């Protein structure tokens, strides 16, 4: 049962991720990205991360992606233009990526070959209650600092996107 | 791989490999794509891949700390998206282009 | 926990407020901040001491680990024991009085806020010095008071002599600080710790040679800070600073830090007879030397400056002959009467519109009666007049010196006679006879005379109010006891009274005689008047060679060719390498991203090759 759902959503996620990169038009990329995020949310749920799965859907697939699509629409962005460019990226990019990926997979399979199997319901510590308890006890200060960060982001966004910079 | 074992659930390593694949795809998009908005979306993709690693290890360790990390990554990503998109708006207003190859003021 | 940190924190707060906002604040606010911060600190000291259960054992308070590097561990620790308690009372008590006095004395000066900011900063460092529970923290206070001393001596920074004096004090003190730093290194090597309680617990088992080296290095530091031979030269020049500074820093508190350091390290000193003898000899030599110079000075502050050097010599004599508590006792009483002498001198200078030369004063008893009376009390105390504060403490030192070596007693007692003579000479020249200066002298405001009266009371009664040897009890391991104390007391009192009498005879009864004596002595008088030409000697032997050597060898040779050559070479090479590397900086984000990916790949491969250090960290 788990293996079925894992494979299903892993494949959906990978396909959507590839689509993000391969699509010429940003709006298609953005919609594919929503697909990646929703399937990741399902995987989170299988790993027992209920709260994070909800947040993934609401914050990422919802709020952040709406922002992306809004900007794409606002700028009326079309297919990308090919002008200028980097020799380094074209020559070294793909080999470097492959090396990176191979090294990563090698490390995982060598050093974490036999981690415990994931069975739905094994771990139930990821509910809103548990996260809330941690967030407002041991992680209180980082949490409060986060609010300052968001405030700064809001102010920064407003200042940057203002019509006139006078 | 023992197929009988798979009946009991998916090994956590599989999640890690999936995460590595997503990360690599995101990195590839960052390196190869020219549209600044797509590049930005690829960054989000990489962040998501990392989040998956956090959640997978959290399950392995039966600890909620990884979730907290993911939560903070999400918050930072949201803030970053807001500021980043505002920067994109400003760049577009000043240069009328979304091609990052044409935005190389850093050099001079 | 008694929250000892509040004691120095209050003046620090005052410094911050005055230092940052002082320029904009009205004068009243500045004085209120400065005075209140110190007075509250004094009040808190009283509170701490009254609520303390027992001060026999130092109560160490650990606030945080300050430096942690391998075996080297220094905490930010304060402690209070009886010695610290006495120092705290003296520093904050006298400090409060002098702050109040300063509000009157400095009322018309430029940079009023700056003065009080420095003064508060000084209080902070001084309190840090006496509260510290390890040598490094003492050193922080030690350097800090040196800095404040420099800033305050050079307070009138438009005057070249003032800034020169500040520099001189700072540079001469560096020599002493070098000694303290070396002592700390040696202490750490020997004891593996700088904490007082650890060092003093281990000291008895260490080789005498090491302890002697440590003690002598500490003595170098103490001699620098407390103006002992041969490093005393900065203190007389330090009188360029405003008079309250001379009273607080260069008479009552900072210059006694050296005595405090020796008393604090008594365990080390006691185990090294050679170092003790050196301390006693240095102290005695300084006492005599400075007293002789003091005989022929005409500047009222210079007279008191040399008397400070001389009295500090007494304290070192006391410490050196093993009478630590007598030395500390003299420190306390000296703080009372010397602060009073300087504040009184300030009042006199104030009365005479800034005149410091005693030949331009005279007859001031009619114009400034309060100053006249209070300064009289201080002069009695310093002369060792029976039952004044100076009488008790000086007597304790003299008795201890006699027990150690009788000849030391005779030299010291003769010096006591000279002290009485030159202080009363200054007193008679200032207050008796006819007024020889210009303008109309006037009495000082209440903010100045108030502290004078309090200090006068302390100068008279401070000796039996604060019987330091009784308070300190058995804190120090060695305590010299004098047997024939009564006879010795009569002798020292006789010398003191003789000094006063001679001064009265020469400067009141027959005031033409001193000039005749001076001219008949000829060369000897010139030698003494010019302070034995020590400054000139140092100039020829140390300062000029250093300056010339720096100019020719260090500047033209090493600086020009070696250092500049290296710097230019580095610059040229960086330019060449940069010329190659700049092609990496294409300004293209994608190429940067590619380099990041390459870097990540290399890192991962290295991790794989080197064996994943974090493998197994999972389980």
Residue B80's CATH number: 1.10.287.3510
Same domain, A76 and A148: no
Q: The pTM is what?
A: 0.65
Q: Which chains lie within 8 Å of chain B at 3 or more CB pairs, if any?
A: A, C
Residue from C240, C312, C257 nearest C279 by CA: C312
CA angle B92, B94, B97 (to 5 degrees): 40
ipTM of the complex: 0.85
How many CA atoms within 13 Å lie on the side-chain side of B98? 22
Question: Which is higher by pLDDT, C256 or B95?
Answer: C256
d(C-alpha B83, C-alpha A151), whole Å: 11
> Nearest CA to C226 among C129, C115, C104, C158?
C129
Q: What is the pLDDT of residue A14?
A: 92
Two tokens, residue A153? 């982001």
Short-list C341, C304, C306, C331, CA closest to C101:
C341
Please give the Cα distance from A36 to A16 (Å, whole number): 6
What's the CA gap between A55 and A46, in Å, rounded?
A: 15
Contact C340, C455 (CB under 8 A): yes
Look at residue A113 and tell me if it is in a domain: no
What are the start-end ranges of the H helices in chain B?
Answer: 3-7, 12-32, 36-61, 65-95
User: What confidence score (pLDDT) does residue C618 get?
Assistant: 42
- Residue pLDDT, tens place only, C175-229: 889 999 999 999 999 988 889 988 988 888 888 899 999 999 999 999 999 888 8
The mean-pLDDT minimum among B97-101, C100-104, C114-118 falls in: B97-101
Mean pLDDT for the stretch of residues A116-126: 74
Whether residues C384 and C421 fall in one domain: yes
Rounded to a whole number, what is the distance in Å from the CA of A108 to chain B's nearest CA?
7
Per-residue DSSP letters for C491-528?
Answer: HHHHHHHHHHHHHHIIIII-TTHHHHHHHHHTHHHHHH
Nearest to C590 among A89, A107, A115 (CB): A89
**CA C324 to CA C475: how far, in whole Å?**
9
Return the axis-axis angle of helices C446-465 and C82-105, rounded to nearest 10°: 160
Question: Is residue C528 over pLDDT 80?
Answer: no
Query: Residue C509, Cβ neighbours under 10 Å: how many?
Result: 9
Query: Residue A47: how many CA atoms within 13 Å on its side-chain side?
Result: 36
Contact call for residues B46 and A17 (beta carbons, < 8 A): no
- C429 and C415 fall within a common domain: yes
Which chain C residues contact residue A87 at CB under 8 A? 591
Low-confidence winner among A141-150, B36-45, C464-473, C480-489 (lowest mean pLDDT)? C480-489
For A88, which of C594, C604, C615 is closest by C-beta distance? C594
Question: Which residues, other chains included, contact C457 with Cβ-Cβ below 8 Å and sequence gap of 6+?
Answer: C377
DSSP per-residue string spanning C82-137? HHHHHHHHHHHHHHHHHHHHHHHHTTT-TTHHHHHHHHHHHHHHHHHHHHBSBHHH
Q: Which long-range contacts (CB under 8 A, 24 or more apart) does C600-606 make?
A: C600/A100, C601/A96, C601/A99, C601/A100, C601/A103, C604/A100, C604/A103, C604/A104, C604/A107, C605/A99, C605/A103
Which carries the bigger pLDDT value, residue C554 or residue A46? A46
- C535 shares a domain with C491: no
Please name which of C230, C257, C441 lies closest in space to residue C331, comparing C-alpha atoms.
C257
CA dihedral of residues A146, A151, A154, A157 (deg, nearest 10): -80
Residues C88 and C100 in one domain: yes
As given in the structure block, the two tokens for residue C264 are 């604090």
Q: How far is B104 from chain C (nearest CA, A)?
A: 5
For chain C, give the percent of residues with pLDDT over 70. Answer: 95
Q: CB A97 to CB C600 under 8 A?
A: no
Q: How many CB atoms lie within 10 A of CB C205?
A: 7
CA angle C514, C516, C517 (to 5 degrees): 65
Q: Who among A88, A100, A115 is closest to C591 (CB)? A: A88
- Band of the pLDDT at B6, cuts 50, 70, 90? low
Which of C584, C585, C589, C615 best probes binding to B when mutated, by most B CB atoms within 10 angstroms?
C589
- Higher local confidence (pLDDT), C128 or C614: C128
Q: Testing the interface with C: which of A83, A85, A87, A103 to mutate, by most C Cβ within 10 A?
A: A103
User: Would you give the distance in Å from CA C432 to the centre of its chain?
Assistant: 33
Assess if residue B100 is contained within a domain.
Answer: no
Peptide bond before residue C230 is cis, with ω within 30 degrees of 0: yes
Residue A51 counted as domain residue: yes
CB contact under 8 Å between B18 and A21, yes or no, is: no
Tell me if C618 and A89 make a contact (CB, 8 A cut-off): no
Residue of higher predicted confidence among B58 and C521: B58
Judge whether A111 lies within some domain: no
Report yes or no: C575 at the B interface, CB cutoff 8 Å. Answer: no
Q: Using DSSP, state whether C75 is helix, strand or coil.
A: strand
Dist CA C127 CA C548 (whole Å): 40
Would the CB atoms of B106 and C587 count as touching at under 8 Å?
A: yes
A93 lies in some domain: no
- Cα A49 vs. chain centroid, distance in angstroms? 15
Report pLDDT for B50.
93
Calculate how close chain B gets to A77, using CA atoms only, in Å: 8
Smallest CA-to-CA distance from C368 within C397, C391, C347 is with C347
C552 shares its domain with C504: no
Give how many domains chain B has, as a whole number. Answer: 1
> Mean pLDDT across chain B, nearest whole number?
83
Is A18 a domain residue?
yes
Chains linked to A by 3 or more Cβ pairs within 8 Å: B, C
Q: Which chains touch C (3+ CB pairs under 8 A)? A: A, B
Please report which confidence band the pLDDT of residue C238 belongs to, taking 50, 70 and 90 as the band edges.
Answer: confident
C324-351 and C300-320 helices, crossing angle to 10°: 180
Q: Confidence band (pLDDT; 50, 70, 90) for C483?
A: low
| C58 lies in the same domain as C144 | yes
Query: Pairing state of beta strands B10-11 and A117-118?
Result: antiparallel
pLDDT by residue (tens digit) across C401-437?
A: 888 888 888 899 899 988 898 899 888 888 887 877 7
Average pLDDT, integer, range C248-261: 88
* Tally of domains in chain A: 2
* Same domain? C302 vs C255: no
Contact state of B31 with C597 under an 8 Å Cβ cutoff: yes
Q: Which among A53, A80, A107 is the end of a domain?
A: A80
Residue with tokens 């910079």: A165
Residue with the bigger pLDDT between C236 and C515: it is C236
Contact with chain A for residue C585, Cβ under 8 A: no
How confident is the model over B25-49, as pLDDT tens digits? 998 888 888 888 888 889 999 999 9
User: Tell me: the pLDDT tens digits for A69-107?
Assistant: 888 888 876 666 665 566 666 777 788 888 888 888 888
Look over chain C and give the mean of its residue pLDDT values, rounded to a whole number: 84
The range of the structural domain enclosing residue B51 comes to 3-95
What is the structure's pLDDT at C355?
Answer: 80
HEC string for C368-418: CHHHHHHHHHHHHHHHCCCCCHHHHHHHHHHHHHHHHCHHHHHHHHHHHHH
CB of C615 within 8 Å of a chain B CB? The answer is no
User: Rounded to the nearest 10 degrees, how much is the dihedral formed by the CA atoms of C91, C95, C97, C100?
Assistant: -170
Cα separation, C121 vs C17, in Å, equals 11
Pair C547, C601 in one domain: no
Residues of A in Cβ contact (< 8 Å) with C597: 93, 96-97, 100
Contact assignment for B101 to C618 by CB distance below 8 Å: no
Do C546 and C601 lie in a common domain? no
Look at the alpha carbons of C43, C49, C52, C58 in this order and tell me if their dihedral is positive or negative. Answer: positive
Q: Which of C582, C590, C599, C614 to probe by mutation at the B interface, max B CB count within 10 Å?
A: C590
Percent of chain C with pLDDT over 90: 19
Q: How far is B108 from chain A (nearest CA, A)?
A: 16
Label residue C611 by pLDDT band (50, 70, 90).
low
**Interchain contact C590–A (C-beta under 8 A):** yes
Q: Determine the straight-line distance between the first and last CA of chain C, rounded to whole angstroms.
A: 43
pLDDT tens by residue, A29-47: 899 999 999 999 999 988 8
Q: Which phi and psi angles does A120 have, rounded to 5°?
A: -60, 125
Distance (Å) from the alpha carbon of B75 to chain C's nearest alpha carbon: 24
Distance CA C42, CA C10 (A): 10
Q: Please indicate, yes or no, whether residues C165 and C201 belong to a single structural domain of this protein.
A: yes
Whether the Cβ atoms of residue B38 and residue A29 lie closer than 8 Å to each other: yes
Q: Give CA–CA dist C297/C299, Å, rounded.
A: 6
Q: How many residues does this entry show for chain A? A: 166
Alpha carbon of B92: minimum distance to chain A alpha carbons (Å): 8
Name the 3-class secondary structure at C64.
strand
Percent of chain A residues past pLDDT 70, beyond the cut: 88
Structural domain that includes position A147? 136-166
What's the pLDDT at C181? 93
Same domain, C435 and C337: yes
Mean pLDDT in residue range C556-566:
76
For residue A31, being part of any structural domain is answered with: yes
- Range with lowest mean pLDDT among C82-91, C258-267, C366-375, C572-581: C572-581
State which of A16, A48, A80 marks the end of a domain: A80
> In terms of pLDDT, which residue wins out, C342 or C448?
C342
* Domain edge (last residue) among A35, A53, A80: A80
Q: By the CB < 8 Å criterion, does C586 face chain B?
A: yes
Q: What is the distance between the alpha carbons of residues C134 and C114, in angstroms, rounded to a whole number?
A: 31
Beta bridge partners of C59: C80
pLDDT at B105: 64
Those residues with Cβ within 8 angstroms of residue C450's Cβ, 6 or more apart along the chain or in another chain: C100, C101
pLDDT score at C220: 92
User: Considering its fold, how many domains does chain C have in total?
Assistant: 4
Q: What is the rounded CA–CA span in Å between residue A127 and residue B58?
A: 13
B87 vs A44: CB contact, 8 Å cut-off?
Answer: no
d(CA C62, CA C58): 12
Q: Hey, of C594, C595, C598, which one would you mutate to test binding to chain A, going by the most A CBs within 10 A of its CB?
A: C594
d(CA C512, CA C525) in angstroms, rounded, equals 16
- What is the rounded distance in angstroms from the CA atom of residue C242 to the CA atom of residue C152? 8
Q: Are residues C484 and C538 in the same domain?
A: no
DSSP string across C331-349:
HHHHHHHHHHHHHHHHHHH
Q: Which of A89, A103, A115 sits opposite C604 (nearest CB)?
A: A103
- A91 assigned to some structural domain: no
Mean pLDDT value of segment C485-496 = 82
Last residue of a domain, one of C270, C298, C313: C270
Candidates C587, C590, C618; nearest CB to B60: C618
Domain that holds residue C256: 1-270
- Whether residue C619 is predicted with pLDDT greater than 50 in this model: the reply is no
Radius of gyration of chain B (CA): 18
Cβ contact A131–B68 (<8 Å): yes
Residues of B with CB below 8 A from A157's CB? Answer: 82-83, 85-86
DSSP C127-164: HHHHHBSBHHHHHHHHHHHHHHHHHHHTTSTTSHHHHH
Please report the DSSP string for B30-60 in residue order: HHH--BHHHHHHHHHHHHHHHHHHHHHHHHH
pLDDT value for C285: 92
Higher-confidence residue: A120 or C149?
A: C149
Quick one: CA dihedral B58, B63, B65, B70, positive or negative?
A: positive
Higher pLDDT, C1 or C155: C155
A75 and A2 within one domain: yes
Q: Do C604 and A87 touch (CB under 8 A)?
A: no
- Given a cut of 70, is residue C606 above it in pLDDT? yes
Given a contact cutoff of 8 angstroms between Cβ atoms, the answer to whether A10 and A118 are in contact is: no
C481 has a pLDDT exceeding 70: no
d(CA C278, CA C265): 15
Would you call C608 and A112 a contact, using CB atoms and an 8 Å cutoff?
no
Nearest CB to A92; choose among C598, C600, C612? C598
CATH number at residue A4: 1.20.120.1200
User: Cβ of C608 and A106 within 8 Å?
Assistant: yes
Determine the Cα–Cα distance for residues B2 and A93; give it in Å rounded to an integer: 37
């Amino acid at each position: 049962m788990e293996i079925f759902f894992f494979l299903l959503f892993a494949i959906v996620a990978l396909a959507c991720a590839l689509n993000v990169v391969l699509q010429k038009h940003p709006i298609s990329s953005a919609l594919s990205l929503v697909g990646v995020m929703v399937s990741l949310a399902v995987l989170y749920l299988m790993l027992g991360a209920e709260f994070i799965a909800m947040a993934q859907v609401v914050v990422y697939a919802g709020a952040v992606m709406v922002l992306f699509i809004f900007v794409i629409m606002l700028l009326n962005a079309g297919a990308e233009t090919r002008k200028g460019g980097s020799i380094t990226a074209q020559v070294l990019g793909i080999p470097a990526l492959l090396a990176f990926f191979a090294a990563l997979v090698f490390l995982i399979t060598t050093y974490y070959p036999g981690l415990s199997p994931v069975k739905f319901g094994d771990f139930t510590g990821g509910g809103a209650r548990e996260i809330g308890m941690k967030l407002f006890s041991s992680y209180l200060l980082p949490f409060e600092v986060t609010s300052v960060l968001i405030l700064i982001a809001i102010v920064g966004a407003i200042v940057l996107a203002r019509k006139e910079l006078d | 791989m023992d197929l009988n074992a798979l009946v009991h659930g998916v090994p956590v390593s599989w999640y890690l490999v999936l995460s590595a694949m997503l990360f690599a795809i995101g990195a590839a998009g960052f390196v190869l794509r020219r549209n600044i908005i797509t590049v930005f979306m690829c960054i989000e993709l990489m962040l998501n891949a990392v989040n998956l690693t956090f959640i997978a290890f959290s399950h392995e360790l039966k600890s909620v700390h990884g979730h907290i990390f993911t939560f903070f990554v999400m918050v930072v990503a949201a803030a970053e998206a807001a500021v980043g998109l505002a920067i994109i708006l400003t760049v577009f207003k000043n240069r009328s282009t979304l091609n990052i190859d044409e935005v190389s003021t850093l050099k001079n | 926990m008694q929250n000892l940190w509040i004691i120095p924190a209050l003046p620090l707060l005052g410094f911050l407020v005055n230092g940052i906002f002082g320029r904009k604040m009205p004068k009243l606010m500045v004085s209120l901040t400065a005075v209140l911060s110190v007075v509250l600190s004094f009040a808190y000291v009283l509170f701490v001491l009254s609520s303390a259960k027992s001060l026999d054992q130092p109560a160490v308070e650990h606030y945080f680990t300050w430096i942690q590097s391998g075996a080297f561990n220094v905490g930010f620790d304060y402690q209070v024991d009886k010695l610290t308690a006495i120092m705290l009372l003296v520093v904050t008590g006298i400090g409060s009085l002098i702050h109040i006095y300063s509000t009157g004395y400095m009322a018309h000066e430029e940079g009023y806020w700056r003065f009080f900011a420095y003064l508060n900063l000084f209080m902070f460092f001084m309190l840090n010095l006496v509260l510290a529970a390890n040598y490094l923290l003492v050193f922080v206070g030690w350097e800090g008071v040196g800095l404040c001393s420099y800033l305050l001596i050079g307070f009138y920074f438009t005057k070249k002599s003032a800034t020169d004096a500040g520099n001189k004090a700072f540079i001469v003190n560096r020599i002493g600080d070098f000694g303290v730093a070396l002592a700390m290194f040696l202490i750490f090597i020997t004891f593996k710790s700088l904490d007082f309680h650890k060092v003093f617990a281990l000291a008895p088992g260490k080789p005498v040679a090491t302890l002697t080296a440590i003690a002598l290095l500490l003595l170098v530091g103490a001699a620098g800070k407390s103006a002992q031979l041969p490093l005393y030269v900065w203190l007389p020049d330090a009188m360029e600073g405003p008079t309250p500074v001379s009273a607080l820093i260069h008479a009552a508190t900072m210059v006694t830090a050296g005595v405090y350091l020796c008393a604090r390290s008594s365990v080390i000193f006691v185990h090294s007879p050679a170092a003790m003898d050196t301390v006693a000899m240095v102290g005695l030599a300084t006492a005599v030397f400075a007293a002789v110079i003091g005989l022929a000075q005409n500047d009222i502050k210079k007279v008191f400056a040399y008397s400070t050097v001389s009295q500090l010599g007494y304290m070192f004599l006391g410490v050196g002959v093993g009478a630590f508590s007598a030395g500390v006792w003299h420190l306390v009483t000296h703080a009372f009467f010397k602060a009073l002498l300087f504040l009184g001198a300030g009042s006199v200078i104030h009365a005479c519109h800034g005149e410091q030369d005693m030949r331009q004063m005279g007859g001031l008893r009619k114009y400034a009666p309060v100053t006249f009376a209070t300064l009289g009390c201080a002069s009695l105390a310093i002369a060792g007049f029976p039952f004044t504060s100076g009488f008790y403490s000086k007597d304790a030192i003299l008795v201890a010196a006699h027990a150690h070596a009788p000849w030391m007693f005779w030299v010291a007692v003769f010096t006591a006679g000279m002290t009485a003579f030159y202080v009363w000479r200054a007193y008679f020249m200032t207050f008796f006879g006819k007024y020889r200066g210009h303008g109309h002298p006037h009495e000082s405001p209440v903010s100045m005379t108030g502290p004078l009266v309090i200090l006068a009371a302390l100068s008279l009664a401070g000796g039996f109010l604060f019987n330091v040897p009784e308070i300190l009890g058995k804190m120090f391991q060695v305590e010299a006891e004098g047997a024939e104390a009564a006879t010795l007391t009569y002798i020292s009192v006789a010398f003191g009274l003789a000094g006063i009498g001679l001064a009265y005879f020469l400067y009141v009864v027959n005031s033409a005689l001193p000039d005749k004596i001076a001219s008949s002595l000829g060369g000897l008088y010139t030698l003494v008047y010019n302070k034995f030409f020590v400054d000139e000697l140092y100039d020829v032997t140390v300062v000029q060679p250093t300056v010339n050597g720096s100019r020719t060898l260090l500047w033209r040779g090493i600086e020009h060719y070696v250092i500049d050559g290296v710097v230019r070479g580095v610059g040229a090479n960086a330019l060449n390498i940069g010329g190659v590397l700049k092609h990496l900086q294409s300004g293209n984000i994608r190429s940067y991203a590619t380099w990041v990916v390459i870097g990540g790949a290399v890192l991962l491969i290295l991790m794989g090759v080197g064996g994943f250090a974090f493998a197994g960290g999972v389980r």
